Amino acid sequence: MKKTLLYLAIYVISITTAFASLQYHQKSPAHRENGWYRIIDGAKDSISSQPIVTAKDFVWLRIEKDFFGNSVISGSVSKHKLQAWTDSTEQLIGKRMGFVFNDSVITAPQVNMRIESGAFQINGLDDYGMEVLYRKLLNEKKDSLDALFKTNGWNIDSLFFNSLNKEKQDSTINMLDYNEACSLIKGFSGNKSMNAHGQH
């Protein structure tokens, strides 16, 4: 039953977005981090200043075909951001949320139900445009992870990663959760600090 409701929710959002996206390719006057935002109807700058989730919180991105045969990007939010996503979709029932990329709203579907799964779809561009956006989102996630690891002194085996074919590279990036990586580094740093104190 839950699975059926999830498919129904995505279907309804897809139908709504097919019409709404034509109206929402607007440019934000202020810089926004790439991600999902509340859309405030009637405001001069209709995009909320704070994101619900950002692109680095996405997991398992993939290109699929929607019910109309158009290319869409499907994905989920990190389990660490799932509560924020669930609460926000509940609060936004009957209202819009927008996916912002490079300070432009790509799509702004109306939310019709609370989405507990964290699933989402991005559409509003042609097939080529969706492929380009998909690549840019994966690269952004990889860059965020690279920066996180390097900042904390972790070495990255870039030679090994670059030796993988594109499909395996995509799978590796998709498998990694930025928020999990933050927790892992924090835990590792904490243990290292405790061990150092224990040696004195």
Q: Are 49 and 29 in contact (CB under 8 A)?
A: no
- Taking the C-alpha atoms of residue 178 and residue 58, their distance in angstroms, rounded to an integer, is 8
198: pLDDT strictly greater than 70: no
Looking at residue 12, what is its pLDDT? 38
**Paired sense of beta strands 104-107 and 58-65, if any:** unpaired
**Mean pLDDT score of the chain, rounded to an integer?**
77
Looking at residue 164, what is its pLDDT? 61
pLDDT classification of 75: cutoffs 50, 70, 90: very high
- Taking the C-alpha atoms of residue 32 and residue 154, their distance in angstroms, rounded to an integer, is 29
pLDDT tens per residue across span 114-171: 999 999 999 988 888 999 999 999 888 888 877 877 777 766 655 455 666 667 766 6
The full DSSP string for 19-34 is: HHTTT--PBPSS---S
pTM of the model: 0.72
H/E stretch holding 185 reads helix 178-198
Q: What is the DSSP letter of 69?
A: S
Q: Please list the residues that pair with 38 across neighbouring strands.
A: 97
Q: In the chain, what's the furthest Cα-to-Cα distance?
A: 66
48: pLDDT strictly greater than 70: yes
Looking at residue 67, what is its pLDDT? 87
Q: Order of strands, edge to edge, in the sheet holding 58-65?
A: 58-65, 71-77, 119-122
Looking at residue 124, what is its pLDDT? 86
More confident residue, 166 or 33: 33
